[in-house]
Chains A and B, each alone.
Chain A
């Protein structure tokens, strides 16, 4: 079984500043990794995913994440945030033999002017 830990529950950040959201996972097998974003009262939208290959993954809205197998991490970054990036962000892991997602508890990002 796999699990996901998001190390920060709340991240306040000023507009145009960089942001990093931390995610660590535990699994005994190879995994796929994901970041989703959830805007208020909406469903989840996929930001990016790591399946294989390059450890630096680029996603939508200027986000990127780096897979670090030795540290079992998949941290999400954006060099310059906008007010519209205010949302909840979920890291998720899927066992390669099982297509179900296990989500972290989420990180609330609040961008201030």
Chain B
């Protein structure tokens, strides 16, 4: 089945130790998103790739970076995790064509990050 896969499902890191979360998709979608969801809160968009174009949200901290080496994979790098970065990180994809009606975002199961 076509899907969005996130690895690992649970990640534990130490304060200040860089960590990378990964997302892959078999849907061949051109847009990939990273959301941060803290406990009992709404998902918050960090950034997205439209094809190869990177789009950062204005309030996303510099501590968060992303890479998309090809259509299928997208990575979230947290350079120096703080205690406040503990959250669920959700990856999503969509097939968007500029000028056409909105297309559904498909979400992965998420990676829960714990910072010790």
Contacts and interface: CB of A to CB of B under 8 A. Distances in A.
Interface stretch (B35-43, B65-73, B77-85): B35-43
A103 B44 CA distance: 8
Given A96-B102, A99-B102, 18 more contacts: A32-B102, A36-B107, A41-B109, A42-B110, A43-B4, A43-B6, A43-B109, A44-B43, A44-B90, A51-B102, A90-B42, A90-B43, A94-B102, A99-B31, A99-B94, A99-B96, A100-B33, A104-B42
Contacts, number: 52
A106 B41 contact: yes
Interface residues of B, number: 25
B110 A46 contact: no
Describe A's contact surface by its main secondary structure.
loop
**Range of interface residues on A (Cβ < 8 Å):** 20 to 34
Output the residue of A36, A46, A100 with the most chain B CB within 10 A: A100
Contacts of A42: 109-110
A101 B105 contact: yes
Contacts of A49: 102, 104
Nearest to B45: A100
A95 to B, nearest CB: 9
A32 B101 CA distance: 9
Contacts of A43: 4, 6, 90, 92, 107-110
Contacts of B107: 36, 43-45
Interface string B88-116: 00101010100001111101111010000
A6 to B, nearest CB: 9
A41 B42 contact: no
Contacts of A104: 42
B19 to A, nearest CB: 19
Nearest to A49: B104
Q: Sorted from nearest, which 5 A-B pairs have the closest CB atoms?
A: A43-B107, A103-B42, A44-B107, A32-B102, A43-B109
Interface string A83-113: 0000000100010100111011110000000
